[in-house]
């Protein structure tokens, strides 16, 4: 059974810092990995999707990497801003393609102005 | 088509009442998923449909829960005889099958927040 762990559970940084959020998964036979952002009381917004054959994806100040063999992904946020404050969720889809996304519990990020 | 729509956004109900939620997926998406999220936790899978067929149900989906997707379009999730433990955010997502090389990401709706009092 796939399990996804996110570390740290919460993080508080001053504005302008670069930061890294970590995600690990127990079964390396994944099809893809997706990072989401969730604002309090809201739904999920997809940030980046990495296919199993890819090593990284970039979107603006965000960069996600994938090391499938070690079961790890990182989300790098450059030059953090108060508007980045949210919960960041990592989710993996196993290789069978018919299994649903499995989520971690998320990292709650606060960027202090 | 601007995304996945869920209705209502919020629902407060008394314990023992039945509630029904609706999800309208992105029109060209043939897969539809329901997840439940409680405070401080990640979303947990409940069930999913491919077109009108319900292909998988989680053990979290007790007999009081039923989901339908008539005609493979919108979906409804009904909870009968609600309990306080049912209080959560119910999230709907949709995706495309068959999987395409450019990606098969999920698109989520804004969720329905259920409070059982």
User: Using CB atoms, which residue from A97, A103, A105 is nearest to B99?
Assistant: A97
Q: What does each of the 117 residues of chain B score in pLDDT, given as a tens digit?
A: 579 999 999 999 999 999 999 999 998 888 999 999 999 999 999 999 999 999 999 988 889 999 999 988 999 999 999 999 999 999 999 988 655 555 568 899 999 999 999
CA pair distance A68, B57, nearest whole angstrom: 28
> How much is the pLDDT for B114?
98
CB A29 within 8 A of CB A1: no
Rounded CA gap, A74 and A56, in Å?
9
Cβ <8 Å between A100 and B99: no
CA distance B81 to chain A (A): 25
Interchain CB distance below 8 Å, A45 and B108: yes
pLDDT for B46 equals 96
| 3-state helix, strand and coil shares in percent for chain A, rounded to the nearest 5 | 5, 60, 40
pLDDT at residue A18, as a whole number: 97
Instruction: Count each helix (H run) and each strand (E run) in chain B, helices first.
Output: 0, 11
> Would you call A76 helix, strand, or coil by DSSP?
strand
Q: Quickly count: other Cβ atoms within 10 Å of residue B45's Cβ.
A: 20
Q: What per-residue confidence (pLDDT) applies to A95?
A: 74
CA-only gyration radius of chain A, Å: 13
Burial of B77 per CB tally in 10 Å (0-12, 13-18, 19+): buried
| Pair A79, A16: CB distance under 8 Å | yes
**What tens digit of pLDDT does each residue of A14-54 get?**
999 999 999 999 999 898 899 999 999 889 999 999 988 99
Contact present, A21 and A13 (Cβ < 8 Å): no
Supply A57's token pair.
């994806």
User: Looking at residue B98, what is its pLDDT?
Assistant: 58
Q: How far is B23 from chain A (nearest CA, A)?
A: 13
Alpha-carbon distance A64 to B36, whole Å? Answer: 26
User: Among A27-31, A75-79, A95-99, where is mean pLDDT lowest?
Assistant: A95-99
pLDDT at A98: 66
Say if residue A104's pLDDT is above 90.
Answer: yes
Which residues does chain A have within 8 Å of residue B35's beta carbon, measured at their own beta carbons?
103
Other Cβ atoms within 10 Å of B112 Cβ, number: 23
Look over chain A and give the mean of its residue pLDDT values, rounded to a whole number: 94
Vertex B49, ends B106 and A24: CA angle to 5°? Answer: 40
Cβ of A105 within 8 Å of Cβ of B105? The answer is: no
Q: CA of A76, closest CA in chain B: separation in Å? A: 20
C-alpha to C-alpha distances, B86 to B40, B65, B89, nearest whole angstrom? 15, 10, 9
Contacts of A51 in chain B (CB under 8 A): 101, 103
Q: Going along B1-117, which residue ranges are E strands?
A: 5-7, 10-13, 19-24, 31-37, 44-50, 53-57, 65-68, 75-79, 88-95, 107-108, 112-116
CA distance A94 to B47: 16
B106–A34 C-beta distance less than 8 A: yes
Instruction: Please check the confidence at residue A56 and state whether its pLDDT lies above 80.
Output: yes
- Tell me whether residues B108 and A34 touch, CB distance under 8 A: no
Chain A: give the shortest CA distance to residue B88, in Å. Answer: 10
Which of B42, B58, B109, B110 should one mutate to test binding to chain A, selecting the residue with the greatest count of A CBs within 10 A? B42
Give B54-67 pLDDT, tens digit per residue: 999 998 888 999 99
Residues B18 and B44: their CA atoms lie apart, in Å, by 21
Which chain A residues are closer than 8 Å to B110 by Cβ?
A: 42-43
Confidence band (pLDDT; 50, 70, 90) for A97? low
Q: Is B41 on the interface with A (CB under 8 A)?
A: yes
Contacts of B98 (CB under 8 A, 6+ apart): none
């Amino acid at each position: 059974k796939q399990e996804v762990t996110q570390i740290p559970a919460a993080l508080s940084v001053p504005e302008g810092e670069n930061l890294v959020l970590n995600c690990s998964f127990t079964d390396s036979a994944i099809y893809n990995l997706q990072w989401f952002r969730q604002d309090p009381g809201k739904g999920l917004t997809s940030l980046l999707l990495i296919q199993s054959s890819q090593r990284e994806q970039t979107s603006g100040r965000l960069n996600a990497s994938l090391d499938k063999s070690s079961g790890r992904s990182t989300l790098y946020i450059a030059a953090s801003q108060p508007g980045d404050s949210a919960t960041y969720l990592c989710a993996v889809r196993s290789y069978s393609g018919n299994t649903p996304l499995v989520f971690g519990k998320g990292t709650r990020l606060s960027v202090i102005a | 088509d601007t995304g996945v729509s869920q209705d209502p956004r919020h629902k407060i109900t008394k314990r023992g009442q039945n509630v029904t939620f609706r999800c309208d997926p992105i029109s060209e998406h043939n897969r539809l998923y329901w997840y439940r999220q409680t405070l401080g936790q990640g979303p947990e899978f409940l069930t999913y449909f491919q077109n009108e067929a319900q292909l998988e149900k989680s053990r979290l989906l007790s007999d009081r829960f039923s989901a339908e997707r008539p005609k493979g379009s919108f979906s409804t999730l009904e909870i009968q005889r609600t309990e306080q433990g049912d209080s959560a955010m119910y999230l709907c997502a949709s995706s495309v099958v068959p999987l395409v090389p450019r990606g098969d990401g999920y698109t989520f709706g804004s969720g329905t927040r259920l409070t059982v009092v």
